[in-house]
Amino acid sequence: MRYPSVLPALLIASAPCLAQSNLALYGNIDLGIRSLSGLSASNTPAAGYTPSVSSGVDNTSLWGLRGQESLGAGWKAIYRFEGGLNADTGAQAKSDRLFDRHAWVGLESPYGTLALGRQPNLISDALFPVDPLGKRFASFNPNINIVGLSNTSFGTHGFGTQYGPSGYADNFYRLDNTIKYTAKVGDWQARAAYSAGEVAGDAGDLSSHGVALAYQRPAWVVSGASMQFRSRDGLPLDAWSLGAALRLDDWQLKANIGGNQADTGQNKGVHQRVLSAGLSRPLAPGWLLTAAYYSARRSATGLRDDGFDRAFLFLEKTLSPRTTAYLETDRTSWRGDAAGQTAAPANARHGTGLTLGMTHKF
């Protein structure tokens, strides 16, 4: 028997299936040399000067698989699996999850899209078109950390417990067991989501639900969302976001206000609010300048109010359709006890960062 003829025969036989479906491997690698004063390598308050090599400053480092298959009559089966990377170390962003960012399958139809699995929460969806940084520097962006709930353990005002089925006690930006429906009618886009807590005997504990609505025109968009999360003890966390973006010739302006309020115990709670605004403008072909400002304020029962003001400046140069070099600088001014004290002397009232890096998409 002549085996070399088997492979061509199999490829020919599978051709009709391949013509109706596709699978894409994609990703982004972002690394930068970062110089820090008053900040640690993880961008938390720290005394002194710290040099570092950082991943995900301009764009999050990640990799993923996505695809679709036509089912006919405008219906498609779709799926997406995506995991974060720490490109500076080669480690997964979440050591316990290969696909921590997306892991879902769904149906796309003329009536909307239904997706089931681990997905970003609705606040994240609402922020996408209106965040002043365009979701750059996700680990340090206050809209993602505070409004989107990706880092609730910062400083003394942390929630201290898990809300919703995220799998973590300090990050509810992405949720397990999520059913999300998205529909678009004209210039309107609506989303609704429910995430099952899967706590035996109580359908409410560790669950979440919410709605999001956006109205988009060629030159402007308004986008907002409201969600409620529950802890294992049934304590509520209410979160919301509302923002707008406007394009005027070469200028793009964005602004957002968002916040949340959590019951953390008997007659105890945490309240957070972030105001943000920014603009971007091409300086020359291939050059883009983006500036953004965030004002975060927090209060918690029995603690001194705190917060911070944070400003960013990004200068990006497109080197090719898939490669961008960038220069970034940021400055944070702490309020109250937000900076904490890691040693004597106490941390400075200000933290600054400067990054030179490159991001490549594949």
State the pLDDT confidence band at 11, using cuts at 50, 70 and 90: very low
Q: Which residue has the higher pLDDT, 78 or 203?
A: 78
**So where are the chain's domains?**
34-361
Average pLDDT over residues 35-54: 92
Q: What is the largest CA-CA distance in the chain?
A: 81
State the pLDDT confidence band at 348, using cuts at 50, 70 and 90: confident
pLDDT score, position 154: 77
Query: Does residue 1 have a pLDDT over 50?
Result: no
Q: In sequence order, what are the beta bridge partners of 316?
A: 288, 326
Roughly how many angstroms between the first and final C-alpha of the chain, as a whole number? 42
In angstroms, the CA 247 to CA 257 distance is 19
What contacts 270, CB < 8 A, 6 or more positions away? 157, 158, 159, 261, 262, 264, 298, 299, 300, 301
Candidates 281, 287, 348; CA nearest to 47 is 348
Give the DSSP letter string of 293-306: EEEEEEEETTS--E
What is the rounded average pLDDT for all residues in the chain?
92
pTM listed for this prediction: 0.90
Q: What confidence tens digit (pLDDT) does each residue in 153-197 have?
A: 877 788 889 999 999 999 999 999 999 999 999 999 999 999 999
Q: Which residue has the higher pLDDT, 90 or 3?
A: 90
Q: What confidence tens digit (pLDDT) does each residue in 308-346 have?
A: 999 999 999 999 999 999 999 999 999 987 877 666 667
Q: Where are the beta strands (DSSP E) in the chain?
A: 21-39, 45-55, 62-72, 75-86, 91-92, 102-109, 112-120, 174-185, 188-195, 208-216, 220-230, 236-248, 251-265, 268-284, 287-300, 306-320, 323-335, 350-361
DSSP, collapsed to helix, strand or coil, labels residue 269 as strand
Instruction: Please check whether residue 31 is in contact with residue 1, taking contact to mean a CB–CB distance below 8 angstroms.
Output: no
The single-letter code of the amino acid at 297 is: R
The single-letter code of the amino acid at 287 is: W
Instruction: Please check whether residue 169 is in contact with residue 157, taking contact to mean a CB–CB distance below 8 angstroms.
Output: no
Query: Does residue 12 have a pLDDT over 60?
Result: no
In angstroms, the CA 43 to CA 107 distance is 40
State the pLDDT confidence band at 20, using cuts at 50, 70 and 90: low
User: Taking phi first (over 0 means left), then psi (-120 to 50 degrees means alpha), and beta for anything else, what does residue 125 get?
Assistant: alpha
- Residues composing the chain: 362
Alpha helices per DSSP H over 60-139: 122-127
Instruction: Please check whether residue 123 is in contact with residue 227, taking contact to mean a CB–CB distance below 8 angstroms.
Output: yes
Q: In sequence order, what are the beta bridge partners of 222?
A: 215, 244
Candidates 174, 177, 209; CA nearest to 194 is 209
Q: What confidence tens digit (pLDDT) does each residue in 216-230 have?
A: 999 999 999 999 999
pLDDT score, position 67: 97
Residue with tokens 């681990």, as numbered in its chain = 118
Instruction: Please check whether residue 120 is in contact with residue 128, taking contact to mean a CB–CB distance below 8 angstroms.
Output: no
In angstroms, the CA 343 to CA 135 distance is 33
Q: Which of 43-47, 238-242, 308-312 is the least confident region?
A: 43-47
Q: In sequence order, what are the beta bridge partners of 194?
A: 179, 209
Residue 150 has what DSSP assignment? S
The single-letter code of the amino acid at 111 is: Y
- Residue 263 CA: distances (Å) to CA of 220, 227, 232: 36, 15, 12
Instruction: Please check whether residue 214 is in contact with residue 240, taking contact to mean a CB–CB distance below 8 angstroms.
Output: no
Instruction: Answer yes or no: CATH 2.40.160.10 is held by domain 34-361.
Output: yes
Alpha helices per DSSP H over 258-300: none
What contacts 232, CB < 8 A, 6 or more positions away? 161, 162, 197, 199, 205, 206
